[in-house]
Amino acid sequence: MRALICREWGDLDQLELAEVEPPVPSATQILIDVEATAVNYADAIMVAGNYQTKPPFPFAPGLEAAGTVVACGSEVGGFQLGDRVMALLNYGGMAELAVAEQADTWIVPPGMNFFDAGAFPIAYFSSDVALRWQGHLESGETLLVLGAAGGVGLTAVEIGKAFGARVIACASTKEKLDVAREHGADETIDYSHEDLKARVMALTNDRGVDVCFDPVGGALFDPALSSLAWGGRYVHVGFVGGVPKIPANRLLVKNRTASGSALRYFRWYAPDKLQSSVASLLQWYAEGRLRPLVTHTLPLERGVEAIQLLTKRRAHGRILVLPHKTT
Ligand SMILES: NC(=O)c1ccc[n+]([C@@H]2O[C@H](COP(=O)([O-])OP(=O)(O)OC[C@H]3O[C@@H](n4cnc5c(N)ncnc54)[C@H](OP(=O)(O)O)[C@@H]3O)[C@@H](O)[C@H]2O)c1
């Protein structure tokens, strides 16, 4: 099969398109003929050797996939050859064939095409578990979303609206904020030149927000933490802007909480919560309340370019690599 292969830790440029042996599913795994795989910021981190998972060389990056079941391990139940599925992967999505654990695989519902399915798992699942189980977001509350046009940011905007929250979306350009508004944001803040805390306070009658969803960190953390109301919940989802230090005194004075949320730990330690999130998400999708935004579809040979759209901060929504696309 063709795959985008990493042979050593380093820059994305060293990834090469190669013919390799297809993966063999274990007893609990499903072999998927990949139609679409969304790129994630974590792909770049994994290739650099800085991700929690360090696959053996050679490997293909790619943490999710949508496609068709072509083989099942001996202990797999509930899936048939030819089923349309979407899955979370340990790695290997940027290839014509990929393996997924059956526990990390879901049937694609009727009416969902492979573009939406390819864009769905990581962004929607991660945002939902973060807001539902760590942020305890409730209807009528106010949600602040940083990086709101990015992969997990934009899905957090949509999910926040589906929860019945008032959503304040923050991003670095007018174009990105327009995208967040098209996906439901009630208010927007351009943190490239506006004072984040001052704007939040103006938008909330000096009360602050109930929940902050933060996939960025870095310099945005301090003003975003200061924007939390009494009893506010700060949910760390990622650190593309740098890892902040949490000043405990500023949690104490307003009974605030800071927590982390990592999809992988829901897979491993709280699968019931993850399944509950997925059921809600698929229901909302069927009702038309979630609208995955795919801005680019690139062939496998342009996989490096696809990931670089994220690392160069040029993307919004989701970027798909289509292993069977030829041009
Ligand atoms: N915890 C989890 O379960 C989980 C799941 C998925 C992803 N993540 C993490 O969440 C973070 C975002 O992932 P993603 O796939 O949503 O990425 P993405 O699509 O690239 O979105 C990240 C957003 O962050 C903003 N940003 C600020 N500083 C940036 C910088 N120096 N470089 C790039 N973007 C920057 C960008 O928006 P502006 O230009 O508007 O600022 C961008 O839209 C990553 O750290 C990723 O590993 C965590």
DSSP alpha helix (H) spans, the chain: 41-47, 114-119, 121-129, 151-163, 174-182, 196-203, 221-226, 248-252, 263-269, 271-286, 303-311
In this structure, the answer to whether residues 127 and 218 fall within a common structural domain is: yes
Q: Which two tokens stand for residue 165?
A: 């929250």
What pLDDT was estimated at residue 161? 98
In this structure, the answer to whether residues 58 and 171 fall within a common structural domain is: no
**Ligand 1 near 241 CB (within 6 A):** yes
Domain span including residue 255: 123-265
Placement of tokens 């949490």 in the chain: 246
**Ligand 1 near 114 CB (within 6 A):** no
**Is 45 among the domain residues?**
yes
In this structure, the answer to whether residues 158 and 69 fall within a common structural domain is: no
In this structure, the answer to whether residues 136 and 256 fall within a common structural domain is: yes
In this structure, the answer to whether residues 80 and 148 fall within a common structural domain is: no
**Ligand 1 near 196 CB (within 6 A):** no
Angle at 45 between CA 113 and CA 10, to 5 degrees: 120
CA distances from 194 to 177, 189, 291 (A): 13, 7, 28
In this structure, the answer to whether residues 168 and 246 fall within a common structural domain is: yes
* CATH label of the domain that carries residue 207: 3.40.50.720
What pLDDT was estimated at residue 325? 79
In sequence order, the 6+-apart residues with CB closer than 8 A to the CB of 296 are 306, 309, 315, 319, 320
Report CA(295)–ligand 1 centroid distance (Å). 16
Beta-strand pair 209-214/142-145: parallel
Q: Which two tokens stand for residue 15?
A: 């990834």
Q: Are 158 and 289 in contact (CB under 8 A)?
A: yes
Report CA(219)–ligand 1 centroid distance (Å). 14
Percentage of residues of the chain with pLDDT beyond 70: 100
Q: Write out pLDDT tens, residues 106-137.
A: 999 999 999 999 999 999 999 999 999 999 99
In DSSP notation, 254-274 reads TT-EEEE--HHHHHHH-HHHH
Q: Write out pLDDT tens, residues 271-292.
A: 999 999 999 999 999 999 999 9
> Which residue CA neighbors atom 20 of ligand 1 most closely?
310
Cα(54)–Cα(56) distance, integer angstroms: 7
> Which residue CA neighbors atom 14 of ligand 1 most closely?
151
In this structure, the answer to whether residues 188 and 138 fall within a common structural domain is: yes
